[in-house]
Structure 1
Amino acid sequence: MRDVVSLCAVTHAAAPVFPITSLLPEIVSSLAAHPRLVLEAPPGAGKTTQVPLALHDADWLAGKKIVMLEPRRVAARSAASFMARQLGDEIGGLVGYRIRFEQRVSARTRIEVVTEGILTRMLQDDPELCDVGALLFDEFHERHLAGDLGLALARDVQTGLREDLRLVVMSATLDGARIATWLDAPRLSSAGRSFPVDVSHAPPKRDEALEHQVRRVLVDALATQPGDALVFLPGQREIARCRAQLEAALPGDVELLALHGELPVDAQTHVLQPSTDGRRRVVLATNVAESSVTLPGVRIVVDSGQAREPRFDPNSGFSRLEIVSISQASADQRAGRAGRVASGVALRLWPESQRLEPQRRPEIAQVDLAALALELAAWGDPSLVFPDAPPAGAMGAAHDLLQRLDALDTRGAITQTGRRMLALGTHPRLAAMLLAGADAGERALACDLCALLEARDPLRPLPGTPRSDGVAARWQALAAFRSGRTPADAQRGALAAIDAAAKQWRRRLKLDAAPPSSAPVHVLGDLLGHAFPDRIGHRHARDDARYTLSNGRMARLFDDSTLRGETWIVASELRHEAKDALLLRGAPIDEARLRRQWPERFIDADETRWDAERRALVGERVRRFDGIVLDARANGRVDPAQAAQALSDAVGALGLDVLPWRDALRQWQARVQAVRAWMPELALPDVSDATLLATRDAWLRPAFAGITRLDALGADALADALQNQLDWSLRQQLDRLAPVRITVPSGMARAIDYAIEADGTPAPPVLAVKLQELFGLAKTPTVADGRVPLTIHLLSPAGRPLQVTQDLAGFWERTYPEVRKEMKGRYPKHPWPEDPWNAPATHRAKPRGT
């Protein structure tokens, strides 16, 4: 209890004044009354360092710890160090941090700053978080996948196990109202501390490289503006290129610094401290400088408008960092960095006409979800609620992969292997490989491969040398580097980083064994096969440059590939193309080891498949490894039990148009999609062509029962299969909300035409009707409980269009007199009254003699 007292005393005696200081009592009292809070505070408000200190002695904390989540390692170290200094304590005392491969905590630590993966492990290992009283999610607007998962898990824990656990979501730029509604939490906002910032644009000249553009703009800004400069760049490569350009261009009294997540701790500390010799500074930074860290003295911001963010890369099977345009919210945050200490300028290196997305898209919508699916399986609650739901297609692919990796069983439950994989804290592909080694030497080799797969390619092609697509060449370069020899085609810095990462993995696995100095190339492939079981390939019988992969797809080699001639390979990186994928990186595999490790994947069976050339089902005796057919011989029999699946596969290959569609069924499809968009609260199923094709096994395969030909499926059977996706009550709702026909004032029932635009949005529904049939109708008819007006195509007596309108009253008032004047002489046998409001509607011509 002595530590608690001393922390209270120091905090109240020495707390500096920040913009958020006046709001701190309200934050504390809000959390006393309600266990959740959304806090919006702009950069510089002090939320990251002052809120944890303000909460530490709250009565409801009851002596428990505060854990604050930071999305970046630089920010985690910086925030913990600042709070420790403010308390006059050492880091790892009352305030500490834990990040990947590094921690500074002790038994005294009561405020712990962690990165996102650490929090997930804490929650999975101890769902009750017995010694934690509050979880703070800082910079939540960055919407990292691990942050979304951490908040969803914490919300679940609070709801079911720990009503006393406090959750605080903090952000500088956030759709606070939406998150507060989702979290069912009060919402508080703080002012920031900023001075005016003059924002201007300095787009690139024609064919100007980024590093030249930065030099041109920055040199001019330093000559005309006071203060230090902060340059936002996508990543380390761009930082290195800009640094090389600026070292010769900047005056000697300007200190040039870099700031990124891989920087050593002492170098990060130096950047974040004020200059000690009075020199101006230029800091070249990634988006780690966007939030949570403060750079003293900055009054000039040069913004490339780019960042490296994770996107799913189907070539590698992982989420990889790609250069993307930042959001408008990020651009505003970056510009605000120039106004922390005084007025400043922000120079944007893109045209003013370029429009940015308002907010950053959440990672959950655009990255590989295998790790998330494994975490959810371990948690055991598939109904976990996220701020943005994970896409169903990506989750389905993730479950398929995890079953191949033996991390999930056929029911989707986590296996013992899956739990061991989860404990390693890396992508499930890599975790499966790290666990696959037969002995300590192979496990050390797996650590090397893990580091190689996570890193950028350490080899650069030399002129006149064959293309190197073998993983073995990369590993051999690493082994040579360790022995003091760096190959001519290798980058020493990249190999040093890979070697350091491999050491960290050996430490994680508690491996004392040194990495081997040599290894057969087949052993590399055998290990990689555990990471990429879906990309094990067998050489094509008639083309030694083509391989059938275990996922059923085809891949080809470069003409000068070092893998040419190998019977079995594994592809660690592919470029997906229109026909065959192109193998960019791979290794040979030993078939004998394949048979020992996965005997259950070698199968002999009678199968029925669709023959695209003959457009018919054929029966065969097949020997296969997963999706690779090693041998197939016709047996002259079509198995009725397998025919439905084969016909469903045929539709997958040929497309939905091969089915017997009627116009009425296409209209039903359009009606469902339209009501689904207009009234999402009904949760109608998605029946778009893309979704129907992807889910055909669920709705279409049962309709093929007992059928052995595609053309044997009738139109009525197809309609039943589709419409059975809606239960009786939803069908009733659909008929009421999007009727097929509507009765018009003439007493006739006229069809409504529904359509879906190319982008998937519903077009306005159309009622095409003769003008005379609507006499007396002033209000435009609607569907969807009055939400959607019909677009009325008013027709002449001959059925030709006269007018298109959604404002029927306006048509009678303003346009009808002109139409009447023109049409009365052309169609004299039909009524054209002067007063259409009160004339009787009719679908007939005037009676004879009138």
Structure 2
Amino acid sequence: MNQLPIMQVLPQLKIILNKSRAAILIAEPGAGKTTGTPPAFLDEPWMQGKTILMLEPRRLAARSAATYMASCLGESVGQTVGYRMRMDTRVGKNTRIVVVTEGVLTRMLQTDPSLGDVGLVIFDEFHERSLHADLGLALTLEAQTVLREDLRILIMSATLDGERVSAMLGGAPVVDCPGRVYPVQTIYAPASGTLSIEKSTAASVHRALAEQKGDVLVFLPGEREIRRTQSELENGRLPANTVLRPLYGQLSQVMQDLAVAASVAGERKVVLATSIAETSLTIDGVLTVIDSGLRRTQVFSPRTGMPHLETVPVSKASADQRRGRAGRTAPGVCYRLWSQEEHHRLPDDNVPEIMEADLAQLALELALWGVRDPAALPWLDAPPAAPYAQGTALLRQLGALGATGAITPHGRSMAALGAHPRVAHMLLRAAELGATPLACRLAALLQERDLFRGPAAIDSDLTLRVEALLRFERSAGLDAGGADLATLRAVQRESRNYLAQLQAAPGEAPNDISLIGLLLSFAYPDRIGQKRGDGAFVLSSGRGAAMREGQPLMRCPYIVAASVDDKAAQGKIMLAAELKEAQLLKHHADSITDEAEVYWDKESKSVKARRRTMLGALVLKETTHERPSVEAAEEVLLTALASEGLALLPWDKNTLQLRQRMMLMHRVRADWPDVSDEALLESLNTWLRPYTHGMRAFRDLQRIPLSRVFEGMLDWKQRQTLDTEAPTHITVPSGSRIPVDYDNPAAPVLAVRLQEMFGQLDTPKVGGGMIPVVLHLLSPARRPMQVTTDLASFWRGIYFEVKKDLKGRYPKHYWPDDPLQAIPTNRTRPKN
């Protein structure tokens, strides 16, 4: 360890942490920061015999780091160096360095916010920006500020924006440490577009084994791709003495250790790994990396409130971390299964988990901490508002939060389990029914990949998976029943962990599979589905979802959807179980409401009333009852009218003209009522409601005396003014009373035969002389000949051209040379 580059900067770090409460260490791969840093601070005077906690994102890395540090001290794990992770703890009374995994630090803080026996908290590989790391740092910083000024914090990473983190920590010093990475040649080898990821990766493995020396580390997005690639390689011709080693989070500890251990002499090892091998691990013998360029991440959809797994391209930072695995012990080679042009388009960094994860568990932890608004804590990236609001809404539905947002006793019990709130609520409710063992099996099944592969996976019934698991257990692991053996073992292992945590014996109660749907409904009260035909269901959240064709569950009146693919407008139900109506009514009685509703029936276009028994958006029962009250009917009728529009009112020619005349007057005088569509729709309660008493349908609106309604908006003086300044008719020189068209209140129109205007010089005006009338001058056949708002100019100029045309077409009519001295007439020629 004395040769590690980290040793060069440890003296500087000691000086900083002797004076400051926080520091940031940016150490390149191979520097030895994970295993070299913690022991260096054990004897610092400010430690005073306290413990060092180091948060390590992954279980395998945590166990490996603790084991290596212990071996450097000549001890076994559990003496000076130990670790804590869920269901696996190795610490003793003399342990001074404890490597903890995500969630464990949070539990420790919630139990003892002051971390009284801790002197230093280290956040390793902080660039991964896991949700638990962000939460752990936020809580540790508050604990340091409020309770423990002497507590030190050290952030460590190979790739991190040190300045940004430093600003968050109040200007904490940043220390840079060079790594010890050997040169790595990068070969861009884009996969053929016609090949699957498994086939292209297998081909690259064969190429690397032929071209390079040493062991090979392959990065794939998930367990499924690892298994398929392993199958491809096993079915091909691998060189003699080549062994394949999978490496992913749910693999047994024995298998993980085999993947990480040095190869046996004479063998070459090919490790097929997820991102678990990206940081904090050195796999002895690896000189070649093959990177698929993909990773799997869980993305939360605020639109549906449902998380789903997505396979996405890695970031440049992750690609560089993976590439560096080939140069930890000697010069190496990295095959990237994408082009250099594609590499330039990759994002610089991965999106922090807090920005795209389900935040229900985060909200529960903050409520337990006593924080209702995340803004009260320091964050590098604050939790997004919409997902956080959905998380708190779910917690209220599960009974974890009260109406004010404070945590309830049930919420405290949920948080103590450390599981996702949905799972924790289900386990606690199951205990009330004596169904803890079945609930533990369900919890494990929900958090693992589907047991079934291929055609068997088409059936969405979760009960089949539980039956397969029970059959597997009864046969002592001999009967997999068509299910995937490795997944069965992982589910069995996880369910036993839950049983141990709940202190329930595996044989506590019979596994009554008729309770599966009920237990599932405790975890997913927002996904209780009600049949609406053709395999479609409406969920209690209000969202629609459908099953694949031919599913037996399609016939069930009620189901619970455990897994929903929300990529389409209507979700696709992937896993579900039947929920009996009797179970729903009995065990969700607290969430069932009876409501009387007055509503608008679009089909009959009338107001109706009904009484409904509801569970969320589900209508469990509906009955009609007495007619709605007059006030309620009026309210709904006016709301429907506001939605449908004013065209439903009984407009006649005179009422339309009256409204248009009033609109013209409002244009010239602001104190006149605004009778535009927008203004009328916004004020229906003011001007129309007095006339809708007792009405319940659109047809009733035809009885409204609409002209009287509009006249009622004017006082006596305004009515007199309206007749003089916005007259219905204008008398022209011929003596005719011509109606004014106010269809466009900004430009009213007077359509009059040209001969009737002889002798008038000026254009008529309305609106108190402020708005000229648009004259449509017509031929004797009432065809438009000229449009003008300047009659005087027309007589002086254009009239003489129009006169020639009219005289040719209407020779018997009177077409004088001087129209201003001529006699106006509404006949062929004037009488005199």
- The two structures share one fold, judged by TM-score above 0.5: yes
**Residue identity opposite 1:246 in structure 2:** L
Query: 2:230 corresponds to which residue?
Result: 243
Identify if the C-alpha distance between structure 1 residues 375 and 25 changes in structure 2 by more than 3 Å, giving closer, same or farther. same
Per the TM alignment, residue 442 of structure 1 is displaced from its structure 2 partner at its CA by: 0.7
Match of 1:482 among 461, 473, 478: 473
Identify if the C-alpha distance between structure 1 residues 546 and 21 changes in structure 2 by more than 3 Å, giving closer, same or farther. same
Give every structure 1 segment of 4 or more consecutive aligned residues whose post-TM-superposition deviation is greater than 6 Å: 313-317, 612-617, 638-651, 703-710
SS class of match (2:74) = coil
Q: C-alpha distance in 1, partners of 2:638/2:333?
A: 64
SS class of match (1:60) = coil
Pair 1:329-2:317 in alignment: yes
Query: 1:505 corresponds to which residue?
Result: 498
For residues 10-49 of structure 1, what are the structure 2 equivalents within 5 Å?
15-49=1-35
Per the TM alignment, residue 479 of structure 1 is displaced from its structure 2 partner at its CA by: 1.5
Query: 2:552 corresponds to which residue?
Result: 562
SS class of match (1:555) = strand
Query: 1:537 corresponds to which residue?
Result: 529
Identify if the C-alpha distance between structure 1 residues 645 and 83 changes in structure 2 by more than 3 Å, giving closer, same or farther. farther
Pair 1:218-2:205 in alignment: yes
Match of 1:229 among 211, 216, 219: 216
Pair 1:597-2:611 in alignment: no
Identify if the C-alpha distance between structure 1 residues 44 and 536 changes in structure 2 by more than 3 Å, giving closer, same or farther. same
For residues 290-309 of structure 1, what are the structure 2 equivalents within 5 Å?
290-309=278-297
Moved more, 73-82 or 581-590: 581-590
Q: C-alpha distance in 2, partners of 1:266/1:174?
A: 33
Aligned 8 A contact 1:35 1:166 in 2: yes
**Residue identity opposite 1:242 in structure 2:** T
SS class of match (1:120) = helix
**TM-score for both structures, normalised by structure 1:** 0.71
Per the TM alignment, residue 648 of structure 1 is displaced from its structure 2 partner at its CA by: 10
Match of 1:469 among 460, 483, 494: 460
Pair 1:434-2:427 in alignment: yes
Identify if the C-alpha distance between structure 1 residues 265 and 555 changes in structure 2 by more than 3 Å, giving closer, same or farther. closer
Q: C-alpha distance in 2, partners of 1:85/1:314?
A: 47
For residues 375-454 of structure 1, what are the structure 2 equivalents within 5 Å?
375-381=365-371, 382=373, 383-438=376-431, 441-454=434-447
Aligned 8 A contact 1:617 1:709 in 2: no
Query: 1:847 corresponds to which residue?
Result: none
Deviations 1:642-690 (A, max 9, x none): 9999999999x99xxxxxxxxxxxxxxxxxxxxxxxxxxxxxxxxxxxx
Per the TM alignment, residue 705 of structure 1 is displaced from its structure 2 partner at its CA by: 12
Q: C-alpha distance in 2, partners of 1:366/1:650?
A: 42
SS class of match (2:522) = helix
**Residue identity opposite 1:292 in structure 2:** S
Per the TM alignment, residue 437 of structure 1 is displaced from its structure 2 partner at its CA by: 1.6
Equivalent residue pairs, number: 643
Q: C-alpha distance in 1, partners of 2:385/2:363?
A: 11
SS class of match (2:338) = coil
For residues 25-104 of structure 1, what are the structure 2 equivalents within 5 Å?
25-104=11-90
Query: 1:312 corresponds to which residue?
Result: 300
Query: 2:177 corresponds to which residue?
Result: 190
Aligned 8 A contact 2:304 2:543 in 1: no
Identify if the C-alpha distance between structure 1 residues 518 and 113 changes in structure 2 by more than 3 Å, giving closer, same or farther. closer
Aligned 8 A contact 1:640 1:708 in 2: no
Query: 1:166 corresponds to which residue?
Result: 152
Match of 1:284 among 249, 272, 287: 272
Moved more, 577-586 or 341-350: 577-586
Deviations 1:556-604 (A, max 9, x none): 4444222234333222222347664443322222333333333333322
What 5-or-longer segments of structure 2 have no aligned partner?
Answer: 645-681, 692-832
Per the TM alignment, residue 208 of structure 1 is displaced from its structure 2 partner at its CA by: 1.4
Pair 1:359-2:352 in alignment: no
Aligned 8 A contact 2:205 2:290 in 1: yes
Per the TM alignment, residue 491 of structure 1 is displaced from its structure 2 partner at its CA by: 2.4
Deviations 1:192-251 (A, max 9, x none): 111222212000123112232223223223333333322111222222222233344332
Match of 1:207 among 182, 185, 194: 194
Query: 1:262 corresponds to which residue?
Result: 250
Aligned 8 A contact 2:472 2:481 in 1: no
Match of 2:134 among 148, 151, 156: 148
Per the TM alignment, residue 320 of structure 1 is displaced from its structure 2 partner at its CA by: 4.7
Q: C-alpha distance in 1, partners of 2:210/2:597?
A: 76
Q: Percent identity?
A: 42
**Residue identity opposite 1:531 in structure 2:** A
Deviations 1:721-750 (A, max 9, x none): xxxxxxxxxxxxxxxxxxxxxxxxxxxxxx
Aligned 8 A contact 1:506 1:512 in 2: yes
Q: C-alpha distance in 2, partners of 1:617/1:235?
A: 56
Moved more, 16-25 or 62-71: 16-25
Aligned 8 A contact 1:610 1:647 in 2: no
Q: C-alpha distance in 1, partners of 2:630/2:104?
A: 52
Q: C-alpha distance in 2, partners of 1:444/1:240?
A: 30
Query: 1:631 corresponds to which residue?
Result: 622
SS class of match (1:603) = strand
Per the TM alignment, residue 417 of structure 1 is displaced from its structure 2 partner at its CA by: 0.6
Per the TM alignment, residue 253 of structure 1 is displaced from its structure 2 partner at its CA by: 3.3
Query: 1:8 corresponds to which residue?
Result: none
Per the TM alignment, residue 78 of structure 1 is displaced from its structure 2 partner at its CA by: 0.6
**TM-score for both structures, normalised by structure 2:** 0.72
Query: 2:104 corresponds to which residue?
Result: 118
**Residue identity opposite 1:136 in structure 2:** I
Aligned 8 A contact 2:563 2:573 in 1: yes
Aligned 8 A contact 2:517 2:560 in 1: yes
Q: Aligned Cα RMSD in Å?
A: 3.2
**Residue identity opposite 1:628 in structure 2:** L
Per the TM alignment, residue 338 of structure 1 is displaced from its structure 2 partner at its CA by: 1.8
SS class of match (1:112) = strand
Q: C-alpha distance in 2, partners of 1:255/1:292?
A: 23
SS class of match (2:469) = helix
SS class of match (1:59) = coil
Moved more, 80-89 or 512-521: 512-521
Identify if the C-alpha distance between structure 1 residues 530 and 254 changes in structure 2 by more than 3 Å, giving closer, same or farther. same
Deviations 1:91-118 (A, max 9, x none): 1110001112111111111000000110
SS class of match (1:167) = strand
Query: 2:520 corresponds to which residue?
Result: 528
**Residue identity opposite 1:75 in structure 2:** A
Identify if the C-alpha distance between structure 1 residues 566 and 266 changes in structure 2 by more than 3 Å, giving closer, same or farther. closer
Q: C-alpha distance in 2, partners of 1:301/1:73?
A: 22
Q: C-alpha distance in 2, partners of 1:708/1:88?
A: 90
Q: C-alpha distance in 2, partners of 1:479/1:316?
A: 33
Query: 1:789 corresponds to which residue?
Result: none
Pair 1:253-2:246 in alignment: no
Identify if the C-alpha distance between structure 1 residues 638 and 75 changes in structure 2 by more than 3 Å, giving closer, same or farther. farther
Per the TM alignment, residue 427 of structure 1 is displaced from its structure 2 partner at its CA by: 0.8
Match of 1:549 among 539, 544, 550: 539
Query: 1:519 corresponds to which residue?
Result: 512
Per the TM alignment, residue 74 of structure 1 is displaced from its structure 2 partner at its CA by: 0.7
Q: C-alpha distance in 2, partners of 1:315/1:461?
A: 30
Aligned 8 A contact 1:311 1:368 in 2: yes
**Residue identity opposite 2:410 in structure 1:** T
